[in-house]
Structure 1
């Protein structure tokens, strides 16, 4: 297993390096960081523009700029920001910390729902439960993430207004003032996670549960499962020990491929619920033509996606030992 993990790790590192170069070139060519300064009225002196150009390393060739940037990233320096008083590294990491707790919790909830509902739907094919799960699956699948988030926010506001108390948190990732110790801060953060997590998890679970159902049906109709049943093994034992493990492999693949869309959905969800997370950081950087801030965001996002895909590769080896010996 260790050799399998090392092989996958060695493959992931070149992918990350190539992705950083492609991202750097594309972002550098797509925007001019000096635009906000040049468009000021009255315009600043040419000397000011030239000094800002030197500070942002725009006087260097793009390959030299990339080399300085990537070597700086290794030492924790993500480059100069258009806002001279902002440390890009500290800001983007703290913002991603806020966003990752939403993504991780939403993925865990979505996976648990997808596996449970997908397995039960396959085991009870064409039952009332199967039809009900299919209906709600397609319903959540057809909902745009931003629209569903807005609807949930409005429902939360209506419930708070109706009961005259704060039942659901609809703005921000945490309260400005929290009285109490660590437990009070934890419950406050957890309360702010409820509606955004429901929004992101249900839109993700809908597709995953359909994949899990289809995969489970295929495995349940395979020869080795029929043989296990013919031996007299209990139905639940056959489903849990023999069928579920192999049926999880396609779901692992789909989950790894959907990581990018989940991250994009988190950006939209954060905007709706007014979180100061990675989503608002990216939007502010794009509006301000802050090239290095955009590159830092995309670098961390690429690292996150590659890391989770690496975890998915390792899960393949755990679910099916034949994969790691291939």
Structure 2
């Protein structure tokens, strides 16, 4: 393993140096740092003086190879240079751009992977069913939509339309019934089974959806959104049942009791956590939030270990997987509690869903207000990227799962009498992830490079925007820093993909 990593790192360094040379030559050829001076309506003498100063500043009187090695030497020693157009350090420019991009990439990629792979696998298990045809149609439709068109529609309907809706947030009963019917139909098709079973599942899903919509309407949830004890209880129990179903199956009593205990514990801690968050607010930051999330996972694992039994490790896993999303719900509820002051702030003006930027200028407020502001700015670009990525992951997951489920070892597992859940989750699902090991890291790196169109439409100052802005300004230092970072991450992504391959498939050896 160590020899493989060292060998790949050395090869990667060589590729990085060679690619940086080629990129520097091409970028230098495409740029003209003197163009703005030539276009000025000054006298020729003034232009000549300004050009000479610019040439001396950027060392344009030296050969391009000499300038490349000068840049490379500075870069290796940690000096990324200074953007001559803004006189700012490239490190400072990159820091702000990478934070904005990482927020967007993390949210959109995690949601797209979870939803896309989940829906793709269900579609494969329901091959040639109505649900499979529906998902195939929706996936190809979203995959073919131009990203700029999706972004513009989201700005119009999800931002402007929703902000207008908040003036009189009332949903008519016929609309609620229609939404509930659609949800019921989708769930009936997804769960499959005999017609009677589909009817029962669809009716139950539709009834739950209608009940949730009525609860939201009657509690004026739109103007004061929150999770609260009621929704937290219902959602936590649903998470416990869902996690147990996927992790061990509901027949594993210890795992089921572990998940339900963790869910009840989370609901019981809802009120005490309000006091904890109140006293922690002055020192609250994301490191502390992650620490609390890890603590929640540990507590869930401890609950599973206390149930003991021969399969206690499965209970530990189920408890931890249940505790983290329940804790996340409590955190989200705390963020949503500042919705009223946030919406009524002068900087927001009663229109909480923004269409541009990554923060609201002159907003102020504590950690919870700032976090809510970041969330609202992330909603539209995240959904825009997620819809397209979701379509890709759905198709990849479906194709991979169909290939795996036709293998001989799947038929052997069924012949041995294993439950369908065990066959799908333990033998089918894990092996279906092997092709995704290549797609996901590369896709993440592509997004880190900057969703240029999405960032431009939503005005997010991310990596893609930084690259385009300085490329147009013929500012080579930030452009080269961007290109080199993206190339480095691409090399790392390929190494990580090979290692994930070895973890998912024991037949693969990295030493080979």
Task: Please report the TM-score for the alignment, with normalisation by the length of structure 1.
Answer: 0.92
> How far did 1:30 drift?
1.2
Q: Distance in 1 between matches of 2:146 and 2:476?
A: 29
The runs of 5 or more residues in structure 1 that have no matched partner are: none
Change (3 A) 1:316 1:233: same
Q: Which secondary structure state, in structure 2, belongs to the residue aligned with residue 227 of structure 1? A: helix
Report what 1:221 is aligned to: 406
Report what 1:161 is aligned to: 164
Q: Which secondary structure state, in structure 2, belongs to the residue aligned with residue 322 of structure 1? A: coil
1:304 aligns with 2:306: no
- Contact 1:204 1:262 survives alignment (8 Å): no
**Corresponding residue to 2:475 among 290, 294, 311:** 290
1:181 aligns with 2:184: no
Report what 1:106 is aligned to: 108
Count of paired positions: 326
Report what 1:27 is aligned to: 27
Change (3 A) 1:187 1:8: farther
Q: Distance in 1 between matches of 2:494 and 2:386?
A: 19
The runs of 5 or more residues in structure 2 that have no matched partner are: 168-349
Report what 1:67 is aligned to: 69
Task: Please report the TM-score for the alignment, with normalisation by the length of structure 2.
Answer: 0.60
The equivalences for 1:1-326 within 5 A come to 1-43=1-43, 44-83=46-85, 85-155=87-157, 156-164=159-167, 165-259=350-444, 262-263=447-448, 266-323=451-508, 324-326=510-512
Q: Distance in 1 between matches of 2:57 and 2:108?
A: 40
- Contact 1:31 1:289 survives alignment (8 Å): yes
- Contact 2:120 2:394 survives alignment (8 Å): yes
> How far did 1:264 drift?
6.5
Larger relative contact order (CA 8 Å, sep ≥ 6): 1
- Contact 2:401 2:429 survives alignment (8 Å): yes
The farther-off stretch of 265-274 and 254-263 is 254-263
- Contact 1:115 1:209 survives alignment (8 Å): yes
Report what 2:228 is aligned to: none
Q: Distance in 1 between matches of 2:121 and 2:86?
A: 54
Of structures 1 and 2, the larger Rg is shown by 2
The farther-off stretch of 41-50 and 181-190 is 41-50
CA-to-aligned-CA distance 1:183-206 (integer Å, 9 cap, x gap): 221221122111111110110120
The farther-off stretch of 77-86 and 214-223 is 77-86
Q: Distance in 2 between matches of 1:99 and 1:138?
A: 27
CA-to-aligned-CA distance 1:288-323 (integer Å, 9 cap, x gap): 122222222222222233233332222112111332
Q: Distance in 2 between matches of 1:179 and 1:258?
A: 35
Q: Distance in 1 between matches of 2:10 and 2:123?
A: 39
- Contact 1:81 1:87 survives alignment (8 Å): yes
Q: Distance in 2 between matches of 1:200 and 1:296?
A: 25
- Contact 1:56 1:81 survives alignment (8 Å): no
RMSD (Å) for aligned C-alpha atoms: 2.0
- Contact 2:449 2:463 survives alignment (8 Å): no
Change (3 A) 1:263 1:127: same
Q: Distance in 2 between matches of 1:6 and 1:168?
A: 48
Change (3 A) 1:7 1:249: farther
Q: Distance in 2 between matches of 1:84 and 1:270?
A: 21
Q: Which secondary structure state, in structure 1, belongs to the residue aligned with residue 60 of structure 2? A: coil
Change (3 A) 1:230 1:7: farther
The farther-off stretch of 6-15 and 255-264 is 255-264
Q: Which secondary structure state, in structure 2, belongs to the residue aligned with residue 209 of structure 1? A: helix
The farther-off stretch of 163-172 and 47-56 is 163-172
Q: Distance in 1 between matches of 2:93 and 2:39?
A: 26
Change (3 A) 1:129 1:264: farther
Q: Distance in 2 between matches of 1:18 and 1:233?
A: 53
Q: Distance in 1 between matches of 2:88 and 2:36?
A: 16
Change (3 A) 1:93 1:21: farther
CA-to-aligned-CA distance 1:161-214 (integer Å, 9 cap, x gap): 232342422211111133322222122112211111111011012012111111
Change (3 A) 1:228 1:215: same
